[in-house]
Amino acid sequence: MPNLKIFSCRGNLPLAEKIAKNLGIPLGKLEIKNFSDGEIWVKFLDNIRGSDVYIIQPTNPPAENIMELLIAIDAARRASANKVNLVIPYFGYARQDRKDQPRVAITAKLIANILAKSGTDRIITMDLHAPQIQGFFDIPFDHIYSSAIMVDHFRKKKIPNLVVVSPDVGGINMARAYAKRLNAEICLIDKRRPKPNEVEVMNVIGDVKGKNVLIVDDIIDTAGTFTSAIRALKENGAKDIYGACTHAILSGSAYEKIESSSLKKLVVTDSIPLKQKSNKIEVITITKIFAKAIQRTFENKSISTLFDVFKS
Ligand code: R5P
């Protein structure tokens, strides 16, 4: 019978430590160093021959995160691990998931190909930018949702007269899942993007006048979408505005934009470590959900209870 071993690359060590602690096993020893020019070197310090190895690493930029993971997969394979399972709290490069204009790449498929070719047996990830990215993989792929813990968090807040808002058409399924569970109405923002990371037109479809609002999104990067949505909702008479976002990428001036907005509170998960603190941002942990997914996968048990939330 193989044994369970958990390792982490350098992308989100705090989360990996919490997951290992929750499972009651020590985080395995993985040494990662850089040559003088930056080239990455990885060594498993524990014997993993015949073990089911779980490597935790988000794949957000810098590209070192992906490179580290690929090298760790190769090292695990060559060290005769029984199974190499990846726990990717945030699956980066997922926004380029189709050829939406001539002569561009489909990075989500490219990353899927590289991970599979490197010797990955299984992937567990959370809130993909587009759920159909699962189809880019021909290996077992478990897609879990943060809404289970997010919904619980907002339910406890007992916010009256609540409307759940999707800041763009692509997020409507996520918003519907929240609205259903929070017993709230739903509203949509029609967003147009002239180029990546630039938000232009925001039309609010639905009634938010005098209502409290919860904007839900899978990622906040520049916070352009999020803060433009806040402005549009305020212009349409919204009262208190809250946000729930799984992956807090928060690049460029995102923190400043959020700080200076009329947002009451943004709740994010720890799928990516925050670069700085903010009074307006509250972090809730996805430790338990990933720990459970790892434990149940290792024991060959169903993990469907962890992604029940989108079933109607
Ligand atoms: C869009 O499809 C996503 O769900 C996010 O709304 C978007 O990618 C966030 O990007 P930014 O914060 O740069 O506007």
245 lines ligand 1 (CB under 6 A): no
Per-residue pLDDT of the chain (312 residues; tens, 9 = 90+): 789 999 999 999 999 999 999 999 999 999 999 999 999 999 999 999 999 999 999 999 999 999 999 999 999 999 999 999 999 999 999 999 999 999 999 999 999 999 999 999 999 999 999 999 999 999 999 999 999 899 999 999 999 999 999 999 889 999 999 999 999 999 999 987 667 766 666 789 999 999 999 999 999 999 999 999 999 999 999 999 999 999 999 999 999 999 999 999 999 999 999 999 999 999 999 999 999 999 999 999 998 877 655 443
220 lines ligand 1 (CB under 6 A): yes
267 lines ligand 1 (CB under 6 A): no
Ligand 1 site-directed mutation target among 96, 127, 200, 219, most atoms within 8 Å of CB: 219
pLDDT of residue 170: 87
Task: Say how many C-beta atoms besides its own lie within 10 A of residue 103's C-beta.
Answer: 5
Number of H helices, E strands in the chain: 8, 14
Query: Can you list the domains of the chain with their CATH numbers?
Result: 4-144+287-306 (3.40.50.2020), 147-284 (3.40.50.2020)
127 lines ligand 1 (CB under 6 A): no
Which residue minimizes the CA distance to atom 9 of ligand 1? 220
Helix, strand, coil shares, percent, the chain, to 5? 35, 25, 40
Task: Give dist(CA 239, CA 236) in Å, integer.
Answer: 9
Q: What digits encode the pLDDT tens for the residues 5-49?
A: 999 999 999 999 999 999 999 999 999 999 999 999 999 999 999
218 CA closest ligand 1 atom index: 4
Task: Indicate the residue type of 161.
Answer: N
Q: So which residues are the catalytic ones? A: 191
Which residue minimizes the CA distance to atom 6 of ligand 1? 225
Distance 151 CA to ligand 1 centre (A): 21
* Sign, Cα dihedral of 255, 256, 260, 261: negative
59 lines ligand 1 (CB under 6 A): no
What is the spatial order of strands in the sheet that 52-56 belongs to? 4-8, 52-56, 83-88, 122-126, 141-144
146 lines ligand 1 (CB under 6 A): no
Distance 134 CA to ligand 1 centre (A): 20
Distance 225 CA to ligand 1 centre (A): 6
Which residue minimizes the CA distance to atom 2 of ligand 1? 170
